[in-house]
Amino acid sequence: MRILVAIGLAMTALSAQAAAPPPGSRPLTPERAFASPSLTGPAARGVQVSPDGAWVTWLKPEATNQFKLDLWAMPAAGGEPRLLVSGEAVEPTGKAISDEEKARRERQRVGALSGVVDYDWSEDGRRLLIPAGGSLYLAEAATGAVTRLDKAGTGATDGRLSPKSRYASYVRAQNLYVLDLDSGEERAITTAGAGPVSYGVAEFVAQEEMGRYTGYWWAPDDHAIAYARVDETPVEIAQRVEIGAGGVTITPQRYPRAGTPNALVSLFVQSLTPGAPVVKVELGPDTDIYVTRVDWSKDGRTLYVERESRDQTKLDLLAVNPADGSSKVILEERQTPWIEITDDFHPLKDGGFLWGSGRSGYHQLYLYDRNGRLVRQITEGAFPSAGGGGGAGAHAPGLVGVDEAKALVYFMASADTPTERQLYVVSYRHPGEARALTRGHGWWTAVMPKAANVFVGYYSDPDTPPQAALYDLNGQRIRWIEQNPLDETHPFHPYVGRYPEPEFGVLRAADGEDLQYVLLKPVGFDPAKRYPVIIEVYGGPGVQTVQKTWRPASEKLYLEDGYILFQLDNRGSSNRSEKFQAAIAGRLGSVEVDDQLVGIQWLRSEPFVDPNRIGVSGWSYGGYMTLRMLTDPRTKLKAGASGAPPTDWRQYDTHYTERYMGMPQQHEAAYDASAVIPRLNDLRSRLLLLQGMADDNVQIDNSIEVMNRLQALSTPFDLMLYPGQRHGIAGEARQLQLWRTFLQFFDRELKG
């Protein structure tokens, strides 16, 4: 269905001589690739500027354990960085955390991390709240002295400070609590949480698919707190088998499969004035909805609720009176085949607000007055001017900050090419061209304090490991936070110059859409030879893999082993037009494979590719894509490694699946066509199937169905199961074993 046309960036000219590795460069081994310190270097995570602007803080991995994070700090005006709180001090190695906290970290994709995973500044810039190991700690910014808030008890999750820092809030045993930091008095905001009912938490699909990880929201002056009540009674119970080294556990998990009932979510407001009644928020007569976002107005007099319809084609913005719970719809967005969820709502002091929408064909920012009337479109262009939402909980940062005194909005965009991203600023009141504050042919991410007087910029490109610095509003660097230079002290320095530069380019599909790709050639590449190729694929919605960023060390193991590595962003991938992303609607596993076939055909046309030795590897949606590609007779792939694959979309969750496929009761033929199991009759390639045996996201039932069908067909396959592991395989030792498995499998199947 696709016409193959190579355009865009030209391929590097091929020399007649083999490109030998630089003298003295060291081969990268699997053992070193997954050992500490990380070959990425001391990359900073979670950088924040204190509310008073005096301090910059960030999370940094330990030198001997890249998965244990410490909290570091330095004065913003100058001075040396120092360790503020050791991760080992608040969450010692081996300390057990609750199942609720494990699940929450898994949803946030930080399940492998420990120590200081999160923290929250006090308004005065004197203290920080650190939730760790089920407890809450207060750390003094000036000294690093740490005090445990004993009354919070153990098993506390989602710990935060209130906006004015009078209270610490947290969820424990399915109920919401606040702790007065002056008096030490703990107050239970709710007490009825038990069984299938929880308060102050985000339900499974909110965390996994909507990018909403909390279920409570403080008013800006600490006078009240809004919270969710989640009733999972209607949700099906899946008897999930967790197999670990210590035995087998049957866990009854409430898992909302496509087409089945969701949890019932309601909202309440509790004033902290003694004796004040609980106020229920009017969300409308339809209870089969999603609460996607909740925000307070700047003056605390209005609670804004974003309400999404079950079919995900309608998104309403409700303005709620927190005094009596009454609500009215002030903005209604409709879009087919689905409407995106974003983090681009921003209330203004005058009662108006900024809003992100894809109605123009690209995600743009808009200004509305307090009554929900459109004032003007702020950004424009044939590219997403802010972050649209996505599947798998992936939500681009988009709107970064707002300076109301100057009527300026700061946002991320990929104006020149989807593979690069910059920070821009533009007036939201007056017409004018957006101005780029960052530069470089790479990938920027930015965060701003509420004052919007500086920004923290993260940057990397294929030659630059992740860096973080503090910048002024003209984009001039004030000071480094983590420069991470590739000098003699950097962990990756022994390998600098060993690997050919990644080659980025564009292939054109039959309908004219551009498909971005990146190709990495092996060490010592010789254009006179033909090489085996491994296609690394994700392919699912809401994710972009082809970016001009620092490449992970694991990829280089393939290059060391003599493989070409290839990645292509098919239709459905993020950071593109609404049309590009919506092309997969109602036909998962089809158009994505068509686009990957464009890449396969192009690879086979290149003189340095062995057309008979091409394999594919992917995890999660990439595991699904691997199975779809292996069972498509057009691809003629030799082998594939499929990790944690969804195999029948009826078995996956409501919000993700119904967004792209609709309700299974109404689209049975489409679900049948997208399933993997019936296609296994056409498997002619060797398969390596991998699965975590405690996966609570893509449950092991999916892989068991693959095993059962292949055994019934007498089809040999390779299998690797990971006891106790969830959707990702965590830890240095297991990551090393995983990649040894990949390498041995492909060496056997692609090299003979």
Instruction: Look at residue 436 and give its three-state secondary structure.
Output: strand
Q: What angle do CA 225, 228, 234 make, to 5 degrees?
A: 170
Written as six digits, the tokens of 489 are: 């002290």
Cβ–Cβ < 8 Å for 132, 90: yes
Cβ–Cβ < 8 Å for 174, 187: no
Distance CA 356, CA 317 (A): 12
Distance CA 528, CA 531 (A): 10
620 counts as catalytic: yes
Nearest to 536 by CA among 502, 500, 562, 566: 566
Distances (CA, A) of 344 to 140, 172, 306, 399, 404: 33, 30, 12, 5, 15
Distances (CA, A) of 127 to 82, 150, 397, 447, 636: 16, 17, 27, 20, 60
Written as six digits, the tokens of 63 are: 């030198």
Written as six digits, the tokens of 452 are: 């919007």
Distances (CA, A) of 605 to 562, 596, 602: 19, 14, 5
Cβ–Cβ < 8 Å for 197, 231: yes
- 119 backbone dihedrals φ, ψ, rounded to 5°: -160, 165
Given 86, 695, 696, 703, which residue is catalytic? 695
**Three-class SS of 47-75:** EEECCCCCEEEEEEECCCCCCEEEEEEEE
Residues in the chain: 752
Given 620, 642, 674, 685, which residue is catalytic? 620
Nearest to 45 by CA among 561, 673, 481: 481
**Three-class SS of 579-618:** HHHHCCCCCCCCHHHHHHHHHHHHHHHCCCEEEEEEEEEE
Instruction: Look at residue 186 and give its three-state secondary structure.
Output: strand
Written as six digits, the tokens of 664 are: 């299974």
Alpha-carbon dihedral 415, 419, 425, 426, rounded to 10 degrees? 20
Distances (CA, A) of 660 to 479, 592, 701: 44, 13, 22
Cβ–Cβ < 8 Å for 499, 563: no
What sign has the CA pseudo-torsion 519, 522, 528, 529?
negative
Residues assigned a catalytic role: 620, 695, 727
